[in-house]
Amino acid sequence: MKRLGIAACLLVTVMVQVTWAPRVTIAGAFPNLALVAVIAITWTAGVRSGMAWACIAGLMLDLTADGPLGPHAVALLSGAYLTGFWNRNLDRESFLHPAIAAAVSTALYSLVLVAADDTLGLPVPPLGVAVQLVIAASLYNAVLMPFALLLVRRLRAPLTRRTEPV
């Protein structure tokens, strides 16, 4: 039931990303809500859980994108894995670290996505354009990250309390 709820939330997030998010473009970039959600899940539930949900969210993104199924999943997986490393030895309650993790993960996500597209023979943007988009998207996602983390923690709180041993 809990997993179904998370899957539904991710589906809604992906749908919002491909319908509403492009309306709030800044400097050519718009927020990557799926990546922000995956990082928030990884930060609160751990890297293994984060990577599993990254795969699912990535496949959902691939269903809305041009090209084969898989590149977005690989890119999100990389973001989740990096975030997992990040939060192991850092203060999980801080909002600064997840924001920085979101920015760095966005850069890695973009790098992996472009590399995967290039490997698969799909069109990739010129370097200058890509760098501009990556910087703008990293800042955008970093700003959104604390809010996403708050939301995920709030949604997760009742579930966590219920499973705690008495």
Partner 1 sequence: MYGRSQSRSTGLFITLCASMLLLAMLSEQAWAAGARGAAKSVLAPLEAAMTQAAGNVDRVTSVFGDISTLRAENQRLRAADEALRRQVVELDAAAKENATLRQALDFERSFGHRMVAAQVVGRGPDGFSRTLEVDRGTADGVQPGMIVTTGAGLVGRVREAGPHGAIVQTLEDPQSRVNVFLSKTGLQGTVTGGPTALQLEIEHSLGITATSGEWALTSGVGGGYPRGLVVGELASVTHRDSSTSDQALLAWVNDPASLTLVLVITDFVPS
Residues that bind partner 1 (CB under 8 A): 11, 14-20, 22-23, 25, 27-30, 32, 34, 47-48, 51-52, 55, 58, 60-61, 63-74, 77-78, 81, 84, 88, 110, 113-114, 116-117, 120-121, 123-126, 129-130, 132-133, 136-137
CB of 15 to partner 1, least distance (A): 4
Helix (H, G, I), strand (E, B) or coil at 3: helix
Q: Which is nearer to partner 1, 89 or 163 (CB)?
A: 89
Q: Which is nearer to partner 1, 48 or 95 (CB)?
A: 48
Q: Are 5 and 11 in contact (CB under 8 A)?
A: no
Nearest residue (CB) to partner 1, 32 versus 152: 32
If the CB atoms of residues 129 and 159 are measured against partner 1, the closer one turns out to be 129
Nearest approach in angstroms of CB 44 to partner 1 is 16
Write out the two tokens for 155: 């949604």
Tokens found for residue 89:
């030895």
Residue of 90, 91, 76 lying closest to 41 (CA atoms)? 76
DSSP conformation letters of 42-74: HHHH-HHHHHHHHHHHHHHHHHHSSS-SSHHHH
Report whether 6 contacts 41 (CB < 8 A): yes
| Smallest distance, partner 1 to C-beta of residue 151, A | 18
Give me the amino acid identity at 140: Y
Q: How far is the CB of 27 from partner 1 (least distance, A)?
A: 7
